[in-house]
A = this chain, B = another copy of it.
Amino acid sequence: MWQLYQFPLCPFSRKVRLLLGEKGIGYDLVRESPWERRDEFLDMNPAGRTPVMVEAAKGLTLIDSWAICEYFEETVEQAPMINGTSVNRAEIRRLVAWFDEQFHADVVAPLMHERMKKRLIDRASPDARVLRDAMKLAVNHLDYVDYLLDHRNWLGGATMSLADLTAAAHISVADYLGGIDWRGHAQTQRWYAALKSRPSFRPLLSERMEVITPPPHYDKVDF
């Protein structure tokens, strides 16, 4: 059985979990708080980041959400999530990178720093200006998702793909941390509601990060 090292609000682990869920691959969760820089974890992954996946019986360790997703995409045929022609696949990967890099840097990283790390580690108050900036950038990102959905059924094209799972993973963490204002984004909201109702998403939405409570709409499919 695979073990997945992660913490509930890690967006990169959420991306991997959504992919595993869609593909029907079982795994056990192992709680890892990368900011504690545990020696045994750093020995496994010198980058000190989640997710890491271990299959002890087979002696396998997979590190980095990109490498993990490509691995399961190559080895498990069911529910292909980097699908279509090479050009489609390039577009899916562009969007995965967009959410993992841009959306993460603009929205998720500042929200997590202010609302999670400051609370858990520094016992400090969040900086209202940083939160406001992140929430403003989140609006721009949702505008871009609206724009993509004007032209396509799903973010990467005609079918659901790793682009949708990655976007939903990051948006769900931002939403948990109160950083998403859904007003004026009906199209993105419908797309996100469709993802939220998938069996792969339900276990994520029911999890809680200690001391941090999400807004009431967070785990509702109608929101």
A positions within 8 Å CB-CB of B: 46-47, 60, 62-64, 66-68, 70-71, 74-75, 86-87, 89-91, 93-94, 97-98, 101-102, 144
> Which residue of B47, B62, B89, B93 contacts A64 across the interface (Cβ within 8 Å)?
B93
* Best-buried of A70, A91, A94 by chain B (most CB within 10 Å): A94
Q: Is the CB of B102 within 8 A of A90?
A: no
Q: What residues on B are CB-neighbors of A90 within 8 Å?
A: 62-63, 67-68, 70-71
Beyond contacts A46-B144, A74-B86: 14 other A-B pairs, Cβ-Cβ < 8 A, are A47-B98, A60-B87, A63-B90, A63-B94, A64-B93, A64-B94, A64-B98, A66-B93, A66-B97, A67-B90, A67-B93, A67-B94, A71-B87, A74-B89
Number of copies of this chain that the complex holds: 2
A135 to chain B, nearest CB (A): 20
Q: Is the CB of B89 within 8 A of A71?
A: yes
The 9 A-B residue pairs whose C-beta atoms are closest, nearest first, are: A67-B93, A64-B97, A71-B90, A67-B90, A63-B94, A67-B94, A64-B94, A74-B86, A75-B86
- Complex CA–CA separation, A63 to B93 (angstroms): 9
Residue of B nearest to A87 (CB): B60
A217 to chain B, nearest CB (A): 28
- Complex CA–CA separation, A195 to B67 (angstroms): 24
- Complex CA–CA separation, A68 to B87 (angstroms): 10
